[in-house]
Amino acid sequence: MRKRLFILQLLLTAVTFSFAQNSYELYPSNWWVGMKYNKIQLMIRGNDVGKHSGFAIRYSGVTLNKVNKFSNSNYVILDISIAATAKPGTIGIRSVNANGKQSNFEFDLVPRRKGNGTSYANGATSSDLMYLIMPDRFSNGDPSNDRVPGMKDQTLRRDTVFNRHGGDLKGIQNHLNYFTDLGVTTLWLNPIIENDMAERTEHGYAFTNHYKVDRRLGGNEAYRTLINAAHAKGIKIIQDAVYNHVGIDHILFKDQPDSTWFHRWPKFTQTNYKDQALFDPYAAMVDKKIMSDGWFVTSMPDWDQSNLFVQNFLIQHALWTVEQFGIDGWRIDTYAYNDLAFMNRCNKALYDEYPRISIFGETWVHGVPNQSFFCENKYTIPYKSNLQATTDFQLLFYGIKAACNEKFGWTDGVNKLYTTTAQDFLYKDPMRQVIFLDNHDLPRFYSVVGEDTSKYKMAFAWMLTFRGIPQMYYGNEILMTGFTSPNDGYVRQDFPGGWDGDKENKFTAAGRTEKENKLFNYIKRLANFRKTSSAIKTGKLMQFIPVDGVYVYFRYDAKQTVMCVMNTNAEPKTIDLSRFAERMNGYRSAVDVAAGIEFKLEKELQLMPVSNLVLELK
């Protein structure tokens, strides 16, 4: 009996040892030859790997500089240098475990992706029209991944906004022709990285493993396939980055290397959301600390980005993603809550490796000075951001929203749009700013304007002709509605026709109502016009002070002049064109871009109530 027990014990030990050997994880999983970022920190995670000794690498051009160990013996981080002379291949890493047995790890060194700055990492610019998609709510191209065994969230209910609905990357890929027809040139996807949390996982902002694309969206291969297919059609891909926090079930939070990787407080401390504390000359240090180091919610641990290991983990993942999948740029979530010195370092690493990449940050703040503080600006102050641009909440909150919904006054209505735009002198390059009407966190703009199609068309005409990079939210083109109350899920409804069996298919003209088709075609005409309009894509902006609720601005360059007229009044208006001689001299006629009609320019221009004209001057 004792002999049997001893044999069973040996078998169990062998199984455990085999499991430990096979369960080691390497982050990043590979690297590339010829990278400027050639000093990496390779994390090995696994059972008692920190108790190993004698780590060694024998590979030409690759040097092991240092072995970093932590209080948690499940981690070791190797500082590795990769010389310019190193060739692609599999690097063998040897160590000796606590039992004196040799362990072997393999790390691939591979050739770089071709086409840096042309076929990938090409950046979104003012020449693009960006389309924001929440993958779970857009289209279900592969029902087999709706539920993934072993993942915590097994919900799949389309009759509630609280659960997953099954949309995925294949569903997006299936509609690439739809985007091209509409005039879209860039897709920005809400996070696609694994969110293996217990609930509310459809939005994607609580990562649990940086190196895995969520399998319910199709996984790494589906992402790679989508990007390749999009690029083949001339469509760029922007990925959503979250540097500030992770989900509480992230592998590095559940099993932390040591106590310095996340911000810790005696009791739960939420951020105060007061960005002013970061630049206020009179700010208290405690307010700054709570702003930057406080957690968003109890389920989202806040990285301690003063930890160099954390910094390198996040930077390496960003570089790895661009090279591995071939994305074109980054949108950075909750930018103001990060360690800003770290963000400069991270941004620079990306700029150095990918000179044409674009990076813009979410800055849900109030005031152009506040917003411009977080991106490249013209201030002479101690902190200088190297972030190219932000999501322009100011032109939304204190610009186009007021122009559409407020009565005209000295500081009200469309005057707010004029005044906010006049503060562009604070930005290094306002043309990089991302302008928008709504997104996954905001009420849908069609609802904001009371489902008034005239106001909605006026706002869209502004967005598609103004300075910056226009971003529309999925479903804008078919008049989708929704408010964030009682829950933000109501602005994240499914795109009708994205699921087999949907009663309506809004991807086709036949499935849309007459009203929806009119709006869809209006956006399509303006979006495709801007594709060929040098004045709108890269030209200058000149605005005239609004008079009596009428706002006029011009986009122009040496080749083309486009006149944009916004009548925010509920009654018709007539404007004297001689006031705009500075930009109109020499022009005799104009083409109404939306209507496709050319007409002779007279002394006056008649304007319909609540309307916008986009006129290409001839």
User: For the chain, how long is the longest CA-to-CA vector?
Assistant: 108
CA distance from start to end of the chain: 100
3-state secondary structure of 291: helix
And the tokens for 79? 């500082």
| Whole-angstrom distance, CA of residue 324 vs CA of residue 178 | 27
Helices within 376-502 (DSSP H only) = 393-395, 401-405, 414-422, 445-448, 453-465
CB neighbours (10 Å) of residue 588?
Answer: 9
**Which residue's structure tokens are 């006629």?**
589
Q: What angle do CA 55, 61, 64 make, to 5 degrees?
A: 25
| Whole-angstrom distance, CA of residue 35 vs CA of residue 427 | 31
Q: Which of 197, 234, 247 is nearest to 118 (CA)?
A: 234
Provide the β-strand partners of residue 311: none
Q: Do residues 91 and 106 make contact, with C-beta atoms less than 8 angstroms apart?
A: yes
| 196 belongs to the catalytic site | no
The one catalytic residue among 136, 168, 302, 333: 333
Q: Which residues of 267-306 are buried (b: 16+ CB within 10 A; e: fewer)?
A: eeeebbeebbbbbeeeeeeeebbbbbbbbbeebbbbbbbe
| Whole-angstrom distance, CA of residue 536 vs CA of residue 526 | 11
The one catalytic residue among 249, 275, 362, 616: 362
Taken in order 118, 357, 434, 453, is the CA torsion positive or negative?
Answer: positive
| Whole-angstrom distance, CA of residue 339 vs CA of residue 91 | 34
| Whole-angstrom distance, CA of residue 30 vs CA of residue 113 | 13
Helices within 79-215 (DSSP H only) = 169-173, 176-182
And the tokens for 164? 């997953």
Distances (CA, A) of 407 to 62, 219, 404: 67, 49, 8
| 604 belongs to the catalytic site | no
Which phi and psi (to 5°) does residue 67 adopt? -115, 120
And the tokens for 312? 């390198």
In the chain, the amino acid numbered 409 is G
And the tokens for 13? 């030990």
Q: Do residues 332 and 241 make contact, with C-beta atoms less than 8 angstroms apart?
A: yes
3-state secondary structure of 487: coil
Q: Do residues 568 and 413 make contact, with C-beta atoms less than 8 angstroms apart?
A: yes
Catalytically active residues, by annotation:
333, 362
